[in-house]
């Protein structure tokens, strides 16, 4: 169980007492009854061995390449180091876990950190033995991803559907599938919620007391999903639910991207019409930086000309919102935006706290 701290009062996300629910650790995987923890440990061990060999020989190959002793060499070695570190975290979490399927999020981190390395190998002319080693490592990584029902690299890993219904890509417009496992969600998770997606799209999410769920994006046809022991799944996308003061957050099990939902609609009772097409002022468009009043961590905010907002706290996953004229909304929370210097300041509608953003 993870106690969530307060997030900056830009949108006053005061959820100190919120608790992450049991996640994929309790959801049924295809291989959950097929493999023992020792079996999966051996699968991960093969990946560790191929990764150790690759990192050593990759560094040597760079030393013999034209980019030796350049910033690019440091950058490429950094990507490999990040991949190796995520694999170390996976091993550590795996060894501490009671059940092998509890570490699915750590596996998704390894896959994500492997993608930049895969891009480097595909883009640069390396010696054939390095390319061959990476292909072996990638195969081992995809085997681990497949074990945890996750997509891997270059089409590898698990790209099917739900347990009991292989290959099922989701169920838009077709009702719920009888093979889906569902469980009763907690009372605070039941209801209809409204959120803003990564491209500014408006999402309506409804969770029923029997575990059935629906979603609609910008008024599109309804998609059908299910809640099962802390995990909300639509198609091949799954997310954990986190209780907030005024709704819920969904946190992707693949990349931990977060979307905040509120039981309050987007129009704020008709007083703040977000359907009128208003855009943010030109001085508020771009990428800006600030420090969190809570812990001093870096906040990065990007605002598009269409008013779509992406906020990243430190090295965390992004959250999404909308800026309309001089109002910024992140989930159920809003702030007023005022020009200041080469950036702007936000003033929370909840407690008046101010955060100053600059372009550098």
- Give the chain as a 3 state SS string: CCECCCCCCCCCCCCCCCEECCCHHHCCCCCCCCCCHHHHHHHHHHHHHHHHHHHHHHHHHHHCCCCCCCHHHHHHHHHHHHHHHHHHHHHHHHHHCCCHHHHHHHHHHHHHHHHHHHHHHHHCCCCHHHHHHHHHHHHHHHHHHHHCCCECCCCCECCCCECCECCCCCEECCCCCCCCCCCCCCHHHCEEEEEECCCCCEEEEEECCCCEEEEEECCCCCEEEEEECCEEEECCEEEEEEEECCEEEEEECCCCCEEEEECCCCCHHHCCCCCCCCCCCHHHCEEEEEECCCCCCEEEEEECCCCEEEEEECCCCEEEEEEECCEEEECCEEEEEEEECCEEEEEECCCCCEEEEECC
Whether pLDDT at 255 is above 80 = no
Q: Are 240 and 251 in contact (CB under 8 A)?
A: yes
- Section 75-86 average pLDDT: 90
CA-CA-CA-CA dihedral for 315, 318, 322, 328, to nearest 10 = -30
**Residue 236's pLDDT is what?**
65
Nearest residue to 117 (alpha-carbon basis) of 150, 158, 153: 153
Percent of the chain scored above 70 by pLDDT? 78
> Which range, 31-35, 76-80, 227-231, has the best average confidence (pLDDT)?
76-80
Q: What whole-number distance in Å separates Cα of residue 130 and Cα of residue 146?
A: 24
Question: Model's pTM, two decimal places?
Answer: 0.43
pLDDT band at 176 (very low <50, low <70, confident <90, very high): low
pLDDT digits (tens, 9 = 90+) for 262-274: 877 654 433 333 4
pLDDT digits (tens, 9 = 90+) for 37-54: 999 999 999 999 989 889
**Residue 23's pLDDT is what?**
35
| Domains in the chain: ranges and CATH | 34-147 (1.20.120), 169-268 (2.40.128.50), 270-357 (2.40.128)
Average pLDDT for the chain: 76
**177 contact partners, CB below 8 Å, separation of at least 6:** 162, 165, 168, 171, 224
């Amino acid at each position: 169980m993870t106690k969530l701290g307060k997030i900056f009062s830009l949108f006053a996300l005061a959820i100190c007492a919120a608790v992450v629910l049991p996640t994929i650790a309790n959801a049924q995987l295809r291989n959950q009854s097929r493999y023992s923890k020792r079996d999966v440990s051996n699968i991960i061990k093969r990946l560790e061995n191929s990764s150790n060999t690759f990192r050593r020989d990759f560094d040597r190959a760079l030393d013999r390449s034209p980019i030796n002793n350049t910033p690019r060499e440091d950058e490429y070695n950094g990507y490999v180091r990040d991949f190796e570190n995520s694999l170390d975290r996976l091993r550590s979490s795996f060894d501490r876990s009671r059940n092998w399927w509890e570490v699915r999020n750590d596996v998704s981190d390894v896959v994500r950190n492997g993608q930049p390395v895969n891009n480097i190998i595909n883009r640069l002319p390396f010696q054939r033995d390095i390319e061959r080693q990476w292909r072996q490592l990638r195969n081992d990584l995809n085997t681990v991803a497949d074990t945890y029902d996750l997509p891997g690299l270059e089409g590898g890993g698990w790209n099917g559907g739900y347990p009991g219904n292989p290959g099922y890509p989701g169920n838009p417009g077709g009702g719920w599938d009888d093979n889906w496992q569902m469980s009763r969600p907690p009372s605070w998770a039941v209801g209809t919620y409204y959120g803003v997606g990564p491209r500014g799209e408006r999402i309506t999410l409804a969770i029923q007391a029997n575990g059935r769920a629906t979603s609609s994006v910008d008024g599109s046809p309804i998609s059908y999903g299910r809640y099962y022991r802390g995990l909300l799944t639509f198609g091949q996308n799954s997310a954990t639910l986190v209780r907030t003061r005024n709704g819920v957050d969904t946190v992707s099990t693949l990349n931990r991207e977060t979307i905040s939902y509120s039981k309050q609609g987007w129009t704020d009772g008709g007083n703040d019409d977000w359907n009128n097409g208003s855009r943010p002022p030109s001085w508020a468009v771009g990428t800006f930086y600030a420090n969190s009043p809570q812990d001093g961590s870096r906040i990065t905010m990007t605002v598009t000309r269409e008013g779509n907002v992406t906020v990243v706290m430190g090295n965390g996953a992004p959250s999404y919102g909308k800026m309309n004229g001089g109002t910024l909304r992140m989930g159920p929370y809003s702030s007023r935006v005022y020009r200041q210097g080469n950036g702007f300041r936000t003033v929370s509608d909840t407690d008046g706290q101010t955060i100053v953003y600059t372009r550098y």
